Chains A and B, each alone.
Chain A
Amino acid sequence: MKTALQARGQSRLEGKEPKKSRLAEQSEKVYPEQSERVKLPETDDGTILFRVPFPDDLKELHNMSPIVVKQPYHIDYIHSYGQDSPFFAGLSNGKLLGTKCPDCGYAYATPKGHCGECGARCDWVELPKVGRIHTFTVCQFGSEEFLKETPYMLILVEFEKFNTLFLSRLIGFDPKKASLDLVGMKVRPQFKRNAKFKPTDVYFVPAE
Chain B
Amino acid sequence: MGIKNTRDVYFVSGGISKFAKARPDVTFQPMVKEAYDYALKDIGMENKQAQEVFDGSVASYFSDHFTRQLMAGIMIQDYLGLCPLPSHRAEGGGATGGICFQEAYKNIASGVMDVCVAYGFETMSHVNTWKGNEFIALASDVSFDYPVGGFYSGYYAMMVVRHMKEFGTTVEQLASVSVKNHNNAFHNKYAQKRRKLTIKDVRNSGMVAWPLTLLDICVMSDGAACGILASEEGVERIRKATGKTPKMVKVTGIGRGTDAMRMADRPHKEVILLPHEKASDYKGLKYPGIHSFRAGRTASKLAYEHAGITNPLKEIDFVELHDAYTSSEIQTYEDMGLCKYGEGGKFVESGAPFLPNLDYGLGKMPRQGEIPVNPSGGLIACGHPVGATGLMQAVFALWQLQGSMKKHLGDDTIQVKDAKRGAIHSHAGTGTYVTVSILEKA
Q: Which of A137, A152, A198 contacts B158 (CB 8 A)?
A: A137
Any B CB within 8 A of the CB of A164: yes
Any A CB within 8 A of the CB of B53: no
> Whole-angstrom distance between the alpha carbons of A93 and B369 in the complex?
59
Size range of the interface on B? 35 or more
Q: B95-103, B144-152, B398-406: which one contacts chain A?
A: B144-152
| Complex contacts, B159 vs chain A, CB 8 Å | 135
Q: Whole-angstrom distance between the alpha carbons of A123 and B262 in the complex?
A: 20
- Does A26 lie at the interface of the complex (its beta carbon under 8 Å from any beta carbon of B)? no
Q: Verify if A166 is at the interface (C-beta below 8 Å from B).
A: yes
A147-179 interface with B by 8 A CB criterion: 147, 149, 152, 154-156, 163-169, 178
Q: Is the CB of B164 within 8 A of A149?
A: no
Secondary structure dominating the interface of A: mixed
Within 8 Å of chain B (Cβ to Cβ): is A130? no
Chain A residues within an 8 Å CB radius of B150 = 154, 167
A contact residues around B130 at 8 Å (CB)? 141-144, 147
Contact at B264–A143, with CB atoms within 8 Å?
no
Contacts of A68 in B (CB 8 A): 24
**Please, how many angstroms separate the alpha-carbon atoms of A66 and B159 in the complex?**
42
Docked Cα-Cα span, A136 to B26, in Å, equals 41
- Known contacts: A142-B130, A142-B149, A143-B130. The answer to whether A73 contacts B68 by CB under 8 A is yes
Q: Would you call B200 an interface residue if the criterion is a C-beta within 8 Å of the partner chain's C-beta atoms?
A: no
Question: Closest CB of chain A to B34's CB: distance in Å?
Answer: 15
Confirm or deny: B154 has a beta carbon within 8 angstroms of a beta carbon on chain A: yes
A103 sits at the interface (CB 8 A): no
Q: Given A110-B144, A140-B206, A146-B149, are A135 and B161 also a contact pair (CB < 8 Å)?
A: yes
Q: Is the CB of A154 within 8 A of B134?
A: no
Q: Is the CB of A142 within 8 A of B151?
A: yes
Within the complex, what minimum Cβ distance (angstroms) separates B123 from chain A? 12
Cα-based distance from A154 to B262 in the complex (angstroms): 14
Q: How far is the CA of A198 from the CA of B143 in the complex (A)?
A: 8
**B289 nearest in chain A by CB position:** A134
Q: Is B207 an interface residue (CB 8 A)?
A: yes
User: In the bound complex, do residue B153 and residue A141 qualify as a contact, i.e. CB atoms below 8 Å apart?
Assistant: yes
Given A144-B133, A147-B130: A137 and B209 interface contact (C-beta under 8 Å): yes
Shortest Cβ distance from residue A55 to the other chain B in the assembled complex, whole angstroms = 17
Task: Give per-residue flags for A125-140: 1 if the beta carbon is below 8 A from chain B beta carbons, else 0.
Answer: 0000000001111111
Looking at the complex, which one of B24, B68, B143, B161 makes contact with A66 (CB distance below 8 Å)? B24
B420 at interface by CB-CB < 8 Å? no
Most buried by B among A109, A110, A155: A110
Which partner residue on chain B sits nearest A112 by CB separation?
B265
Q: Is B290 an interface residue (CB 8 A)?
A: yes
Q: Are A137 and B210 in contact (CB under 8 A)?
A: yes
Q: A163-B268, A180-B161 are in contact. List 19 more A-B contacts (CB 8 A).
A: A66-B24, A110-B264, A116-B265, A116-B267, A117-B267, A137-B157, A139-B151, A139-B154, A141-B130, A141-B208, A143-B151, A155-B158, A164-B264, A167-B150, A178-B210, A180-B165, A198-B147, A199-B147, A200-B149
Interchain residue pairs with CB less than 8 A apart (26): A66-B24, A66-B26, A68-B24, A81-B143, A108-B265, A110-B262, A135-B161, A137-B157, A139-B151, A139-B154, A139-B208, A140-B207, A142-B130, A142-B133, A143-B131, A143-B133, A143-B134, A149-B149, A155-B158, A163-B267, A165-B266, A166-B264, A169-B149, A183-B165, A198-B147, A199-B147
Residues of B in contact with A (beta carbons under 8 Å apart): 24-26, 68, 128, 130-131, 133-134, 136-137, 142-151, 153-154, 157-159, 161-162, 164-165, 206-210, 212, 260, 262-268, 290
The 6 lowest CB-CB distance pairs between A and B, nearest first, are A143-B134, A137-B157, A165-B264, A143-B133, A135-B162, A144-B130
